[in-house]
C-alpha cells in the first residue's frame, strides 16, 4: 500500500473517528484541508472483548448523543478538517460509559486524528479527570466502500485507556485489547 493511500486511510479513519475522504478527493499535495460538516463513525464492538467485560460485570453503553445502531455504537461527526497529505482531525459528539455496580468511567468528546504522514491514527477522549489517548487505529485492512466511507478500521485500547479502565474497575484490562472495527462516513462541507 502506498504512503499516499495510508495517509488517505488515516484521514478517513480519523473521523477522530476517526477519520474521511477519498483518494481522488485529495488532488495535489498543495490542496487546502477540506472542512468536514458531518457524518458518523460507527464502532462495531469486538464480541469477545465485550463478552469478557460483561463477565467482569462491566457494561458498555453509548452516552451524550452516541446511539446504538444496527452495526454498533454510532458517534455523530460534528466537524473537522480532512487533508490526506498532512493531518486529519474529526470531532465527534457522544461518548461511551463503562460501568459496574461499584464504578464507572465515561469517555466523551472523541477526536479522531492522524498523527503523521506515516498513516498512524488514534482517537483521543475526555474523562472526568483528564484527556487520554483512547484508541489506536490500525488501518492496514481498511477498505473504501465508496469515496466518503471507509470500513474495517481496527480499534484497540491504548496504554492510557487500559490503565484508566484497570484503575477504575480493579481488574486488569490490557493495552492492545481489541475494541472493535470502525466504519467512518464523512460529509464534506462543500457537499452539503
Q: Which residue has the higher pLDDT, 69 or 33?
A: 69
User: What would the pLDDT profile of 33-67 be if each residue is shown by its tens digit?
Assistant: 789 999 999 999 999 999 999 999 999 999 999 99
- Which value, to the nearest 10 degrees, does the dihedral of the CA atoms of residues 46, 38, 145, 150 take? -50
Domain residue extents for the chain:
3-191
**Amino acid 5: pLDDT:** 35
User: What would the pLDDT profile of 128-162 be if each residue is shown by its tens digit?
Assistant: 888 999 999 988 888 877 767 888 999 999 999 99
- Helix/strand/coil (H/E/C) assignment for every residue in the chain: CCHHHHHHHHHHHCCCCCCCCCCCCCCCCCCCCEEEEEEEEEEEECHHHHHHHHHCCCEEEEECCCEEECCEEEEEEEEEEECCCCCCEEEECCEEEEECCCCEEEEEEEEEEECCCCCCEEEEEECCCCEEEEEEEECCCCEEEECCEEEEEEEEECHHHHHHHHHHHCCCCCCCCEEEEEEEEEEEHHHC
Tell whether the model's pLDDT for residue 30 goes beyond 70. Answer: no
Tell whether the model's pLDDT for residue 9 goes beyond 70. Answer: no
Dist CA 124 CA 161 (whole Å): 10
Q: Which residue has the higher pLDDT, 68 or 23?
A: 68
**Amino acid 189: pLDDT:** 84
User: What would the pLDDT profile of 75-120 be if each residue is shown by its tens digit?
Assistant: 999 999 876 556 778 899 999 999 999 999 999 999 988 755 556 6
**Amino acid 20: pLDDT:** 31
Which pTM was predicted? 0.80
**Amino acid 180: pLDDT:** 97
Amino acid at each position: 500500500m502506498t504512503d499516499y493511500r495510508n495517509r488517505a486511510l488515516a484521514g478517513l479513519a480519523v473521523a477522530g473517528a476517526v477519520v474521511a475522504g477519498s483518494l481522488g478527493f485529495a488532488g495535489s499535495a498543495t490542496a487546502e484541508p477540506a472542512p468536514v460538516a458531518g457524518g458518523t463513525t460507527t464502532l462495531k464492538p469486538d464480541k469477545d472483548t465485550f463478552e469478557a467485560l460483561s463477565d467482569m460485570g462491566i457494561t458498555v453503553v453509548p452516552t451524550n448523543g452516541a446511539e446504538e445502531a444496527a452495526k454498533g455504537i454510532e458517534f455523530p461527526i460534528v466537524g473537522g478538517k480532512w487533508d490526506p497529505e498532512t493531518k486529519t482531525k474529526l470531532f465527534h459528539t457522544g461518548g461511551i460509559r463503562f460501568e459496574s455496580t461499584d464504578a464507572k468511567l465515561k469517555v466523551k468528546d472523541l477526536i479522531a486524528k492522524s498523527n503523521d504522514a506515516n498513516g498512524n491514527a488514534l482517537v483521543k477522549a475526555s474523562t472526568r479527570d483528564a484527556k487520554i489517548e483512547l484508541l489506536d487505529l490500525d488501518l492496514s485492512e481498511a477498505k473504501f466502500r465508496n469515496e466518503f466511507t471507509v470500513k474495517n478500521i481496527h480499534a484497540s485500547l491504548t496504554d492510557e485507556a487500559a490503565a484508566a479502565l484497570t484503575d477504575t474497575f480493579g481488574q486488569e484490562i490490557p493495552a492492545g485489547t481489541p475494541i472493535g472495527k470502525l466504519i467512518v462516513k464523512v460529509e464534506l462541507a462543500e457537499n452539503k
